[in-house]
Structure 1
């Protein structure tokens, strides 16, 4: 992989606007201008309470350690493929779907499922329109397509993107991916800084950097080892939920929960399949593996309490 560094903060399509230049969405944009101060304050508080309730609902499965997010891809704008992935997530037992940050795709997704829709981007200015279209969670991450171009992100860039996203959308559920390109101690440090910035979910990754030397189940475990290691380490350093993503399967998803993750994110294992029936079967297989894992963990906890 090339060592060049992608700089979303300097590229025109990823510019961070100053607050006095920024026309982006915030709570005020939901409230009509021609109302009295008292009425306006009431509407503001009602809107904030509504967003808070939505956020609590979106994060519920993470706090219950059973979240399963199916990812269509940050740069996947193929409506047919996105529709198939969303439908498979809905029918296969997922708890969330993650799609490209595009308002039209969001409208498509919410027409196909009642699952919370997360949108992924590295451009904070793209999030408000997607939220207005119906997205209930935003994700700075799913960097795989950038890695394929030899582009990586520094901790400083990710922190800047996070701060800007929190500024313009202070009450939306926010997930941020910690890049696997960082050494593990630096991943932990970045996760701790992100927690201080008010991030709700930390997502780990690593599948792309792992080249399994074995076939079959051994290869699946080997492929997942970087993201499992990150989930184990980061979950012990922060208080917020950690989602384990990249290179996971029905074999390794339960390992992520055991390692300390509160949920898993699955992309290519589903979105690269050409048949929606196969997609549904894969989602269902992963969902069932998580259910069995959680049931087993509950049995162990209950047995420990009786001793």
Structure 2
């Protein structure tokens, strides 16, 4: 593990990363600042915000936490880095899949190479899309590590992803359990690469500890924070996540969840991943 940002390096090494997602399309400065202030007071690790230059500049003045911008546009990423962004994340594939476009493994690799060339010594996180097979997810993570990506993020099923990837008869894959597929990806990817992995999509503050058990170095919170009404409730929510992330889980939890998620995998994928 080797991150350019020393503050982030320390947090990832301790596997205690709490990434606070303010919203990929949220450029309302007042709303973002409310979440940012709560995240800072509760000692979250860093903020993930929209790739908006004015927003980045404002946060760099008013918030001491590292700022990550999420985008699929290399030019936007470059401009935000010039404005002060501390790291960048390639993700938000919903923009494409809502139009029926699904980025391939090769396209994501090429995009990552382009971004790395543009921003040089800034840390890069890449989200592994869950619409590709689990074997492809592992392969993509390995290739991203090879080209110098610093962090991997996993995600759960999105409503816009092709339904063929979802077993409708598997009860854990309903809309309230998108964190489970993210944990599944985290489990196998973390065993295949040496760079840190963040689990996101549907994570809540109570079950954050599961991420550590499955090999994650931290978790990302986004939609669950939107339900909090004020700064105090956001702070309380994040503090509970700290406690959960630092708590220990026994091995029985791992075995139990492993068995429950096997039906999601195609038999062929199980053989590839375990052999």
Shared fold, TM over 0.5 = yes
**Structure 1 residue 279: deviation in Å?**
2.1
Number of aligned residues: 241
In 1: Cα distance, 2:188 partner to 2:142 partner: 11
**Structure 1 residue 108: deviation in Å?**
1.9
Structure 1 residues 239 and 133: alpha-carbon distance in aligned structure 2, compared to 1, 3 A threshold: same
1:161 equivalent in structure 2: 111
In 2: Cα distance, 1:293 partner to 1:67 partner: 15
1:28 equivalent in structure 2: none
Q: Deviations over 1:149-192 (max 9, x none)?
A: 55432212211110001111121111000001111111111101
- Report the secondary structure of 1:208's partner residue: coil
Give 5+ residue unaligned stretches, structure 2: 160-165, 252-275
In 1: Cα distance, 2:131 partner to 2:119 partner: 27
2:31 equivalent in structure 1: 81
In 1: Cα distance, 2:30 partner to 2:212 partner: 32
Is 192-201 or 281-290 further displaced after alignment?
A: 281-290
Structure 1 residues 147 and 224: alpha-carbon distance in aligned structure 2, compared to 1, 3 A threshold: same
In 1: Cα distance, 2:95 partner to 2:72 partner: 12
Tell me if 1:257 matches 2:212: yes
In 2: Cα distance, 1:111 partner to 1:143 partner: 30
Contact 1:67–1:94, Cα closer than 8 Å, also in 2: yes
1:232 equivalent in structure 2: 187
Contact 1:204–1:230, Cα closer than 8 Å, also in 2: yes
Contact 2:206–2:240, Cα closer than 8 Å, also in 1: no
In 1: Cα distance, 2:246 partner to 2:212 partner: 11
2:264 equivalent in structure 1: none
TM-score by length of 2: 0.79
In 1: Cα distance, 2:39 partner to 2:22 partner: 10
1:281 to 224, 231, 236: 236
Structure 1 residues 275 and 54: alpha-carbon distance in aligned structure 2, compared to 1, 3 A threshold: same
In 2: Cα distance, 1:205 partner to 1:256 partner: 12
Structure 1 residues 258 and 106: alpha-carbon distance in aligned structure 2, compared to 1, 3 A threshold: same
Is 229-238 or 100-109 further displaced after alignment?
A: 100-109
Contact 1:207–1:247, Cα closer than 8 Å, also in 2: no
Is 91-100 or 268-277 further displaced after alignment?
A: 268-277
In 2: Cα distance, 1:151 partner to 1:57 partner: 36
Tell me if 1:292 matches 2:247: yes
Give 5+ residue unaligned stretches, structure 1: 1-51, 298-307
**Structure 1 residue 85: deviation in Å?**
1.8
Contact 1:207–1:248, Cα closer than 8 Å, also in 2: no
Contact 2:77–2:88, Cα closer than 8 Å, also in 1: yes
**Structure 1 residue 277: deviation in Å?**
2.7
Structure 1 residues 143 and 88: alpha-carbon distance in aligned structure 2, compared to 1, 3 A threshold: farther
In 1: Cα distance, 2:35 partner to 2:102 partner: 27
In 2: Cα distance, 1:102 partner to 1:90 partner: 20
